[in-house]
Amino acid sequence: MLTPDEISDHLERVRDRISVAARQAGRPAGAVRLVLASKTQPPSAVAAAFDAGVREFGENYVQEAIGKRSSLGQRDIRWHLIGHLQTNKAHAAVEAFSLIQTLDSQRLAAALFRLRPSPLMPVLVEINLAGESSKSGVEPALAEALISSARDQVEIQGLMAIPPPAAAPDLARPFFSRLRQLRDRLSAATGLGLPELSMGMTDDFEAAILEGATIVRVGRAVFGER
């Protein structure tokens, strides 16, 4: 594990890169939120990042997030679920997370509504842009139907996607563009604002920002290799 000073230094560099990319896109740096992907990181690493100013962390697994919440006490952290959510874990997820980024079915939306009818649970709809069988998410062509059926059961704030692995960031950029264009079409079709676009990770977050990302999920660039 990196030292707290190393985590702080890495974080400063990532923030600088976000600012540069946002400026290149003609956007203010504040238009892009950094969510630190803390999967497998110990609570001490999360605490170091918190002490360096981070307030939003993303976890892939519900139980891991619950354990970290307990270890970290009363810190003012917004936890994002960025991994697939099974309906049998929905109850714990509603208690643990501020935003679920991986809504991919009406069944899951209904489960979240039963558990939290008011206020509605904030979510992003996960889009499987390339139809990869190894990834969850709804097909782009089915996204409008999902949003229409789920909009009264959850608070849909936008879209999230993980593009296929690419040898270079520019090769991921067309997928980010597709997600932004899909968001624009869905917003027009449904009348929902859908302001959030969660896309871009350590290897390609600058390309995602150039295509309109409002949330980037970065882990290795701050915490080092797992």
pLDDT of the residue at 223: 97
Domain coverage including residue 185? 4-223
81 neighbors 56 (Cβ within 8 angstroms): no
Reported confidence tier of residue 94, pLDDT bands at 50, 70, 90: very high
pLDDT of the residue at 204: 97
Q: Looking at the 3D structure of the chain, how many domains does it have?
A: 1
pLDDT of the residue at 134: 85
pLDDT tens digits, one per residue of 107-157? 999 999 999 999 999 999 999 998 888 889 999 999 999 999 999 999 999
pLDDT of the residue at 74: 83
pLDDT (mean) for 179-193? 98
155 to 47, 112, 141, 177, 196: CA distances (angstroms): 29, 10, 21, 24, 12
Mean pLDDT, rounded, of the chain: 96
78-84 long-range contacts, CB within 8 A, separation 24+: 80/35, 80/56, 80/217, 82/35, 82/37, 82/58, 82/160, 82/198, 82/217, 83/39, 83/59, 84/136
Q: What percent of the chain has pLDDT over 70?
A: 100
* pTM attached to this predicted model: 0.96
| Residue 193 to residue 97: CA distance in whole angstroms | 22
pLDDT exceeds cutoff 80 at 226 = no
215 forms bridges with which residues in the sheet? 33, 198
pLDDT tens digits, one per residue of 61-91? 999 999 999 999 889 999 999 999 999 999 9
pLDDT of the residue at 131: 86
Q: Tell me, what CATH number does 144's domain have? A: 3.20.20.10
